[in-house]
Amino acid sequence: MVAAAIYGVLQLALIASPMRSLRLSTVVLTVAVGIYGSGVVAALIELGYAHAMASSATQPLVEAMGRGSYTVVPVVEELAKLTPLLLAGLNIKIRYQLGLTDYVILGAATGAGLGLYEVLLSHLLDAQRADPYPYGGWMLSGGLSLSSTYIPDWHTVLTTWLPASLGSLDLSFTQPSLDTNLHLAWGAIGALGAGLLLRSRGWRRLLGLLPIAYAMAHHTLVNYTGNRDAHPPSWATSLLGTANDLVAYAPLICLAIAMALDFAHLQRSKQAMPAILLNAERTGNAAIGPLTTFSTRCPPWTPLIALRFARMRRSLLYAAGRTAPERLEALHQAVVNTAARIDAANHADAWNTARIRTQLKTIRPNVGDVAGLSWPSRSSS
């Protein structure tokens, strides 16, 4: 379950690597924020709403929660996924150093975390009902449903696009089905809207409301149809079928839009800040060329240096023109200094193994002289 949630987020994060300024460790940590932050807060709000409705309308708690599943729950959960992003956006420095691509990845991470929290909460006591599935994974036996719950194995997870934490088995128990992680997809869609709200200016900010509204609408439709699965309305079934056909591609579409807008912003910022470019970039070569060349000099060290420099420079470029220059002075100087060091070391002689070993031997302290104390030789003893 956990592997499926994290793997779906990593799929998007790897695709977004050319425009992403976040480290993978930060992305994985955000999944935990979705579990212990967004998931817990949403569950408490929903439980409080259900108790309030049950006490005021004198209806059973189960009925109140069922009605709230398609009226209140979608709004609460989608806003809970975006709340960590909006709280981070209160800091001007963080808000503008994240690109739209970063917001989409963070939203997918909080969405995957909230979805995983729901799954774990629903099946917290079902471990004793889990039986090994002959073709890999596990299945939860029991219940009155015509299908059994399927817990995927590593092979199924790694070969599925944005895998859900749970799947299903048909009546013959031979056809496992693993759908798209809906909460991850909704989180990515809503996060594009949050990024537009936080980074755009003027009337363009209003465009950010459209992805958020779509995520809430699809979530509402899923819960509404599921709450009335005995005789779902025809219009709801038709809309849900269309939305479900698109949901697997929606995060990829949002990511493509975010990456295109970020690429345009990076190009404009590079023209305004030529000092942060490498020498080969100033001559007109592609931006990825010099860094790629440098990363091949001495693996694994030079790839790590190049990757860290690329992320740091993207953070600076994303913030350029969005905040006061004095706020970026320290980051700007760090990028300029790193670019100068990469230029100075971007040749084969700088990473000559024999020369590096010779220099290390010259600076290595004398083994016979520790803390300034001279040890007597064997001949003198």
Query: By C-alpha distance, which of 38, 22, 33, 28 is closest to 7?
Result: 28
pLDDT tens sequence across 335-378: 999 999 999 998 888 888 787 778 777 776 654 454 444 444 44
pLDDT tens sequence across 20-60: 999 999 999 999 999 999 999 999 999 998 888 877 766 77
The CA distance from 353 to 60, in Å, is 75
E strand or H helix that includes residue 262 = helix 250-272
Question: β-strand 176-177 against 369-370: which pairing, if any?
Answer: unpaired
- % of the chain with per-residue pLDDT over 70: 89
Asked if 277 contacts 339 with a C-beta cutoff of 8 angstroms, the reply is yes
The CA distance from 191 to 330, in Å, is 29
DSSP 190-237: HHHHHHHHHH--GGGGGGGHHHHHHHHHHHHHHHHHHHTTTS--HHHH
Query: By C-alpha distance, which of 344, 299, 96, 302 is closest to 201?
Result: 96
Query: By C-alpha distance, which of 79, 64, 303 is closest to 194?
Result: 79
Coil, strand or helix at 263: helix
pLDDT tens sequence across 3-29: 999 999 999 999 999 999 999 999 999
Give 144's pLDDT tier (boundaries 50, 70, 90).
very low
Average pLDDT, the chain: 86
65 versus 209: the higher-pLDDT residue is: 209
Q: What is the mean pLDDT of residues 209-215?
A: 97
* 143 has a pLDDT exceeding 60: no
pLDDT tens sequence across 166-177: 988 876 666 778
- CA within 13 Å, CB half, 71: 9
Coil, strand or helix at 26: helix
318: left (phi over 0), alpha (psi -120 to 50) or beta: alpha
pTM of the model: 0.88
Asked if 109 contacts 31 with a C-beta cutoff of 8 angstroms, the reply is yes
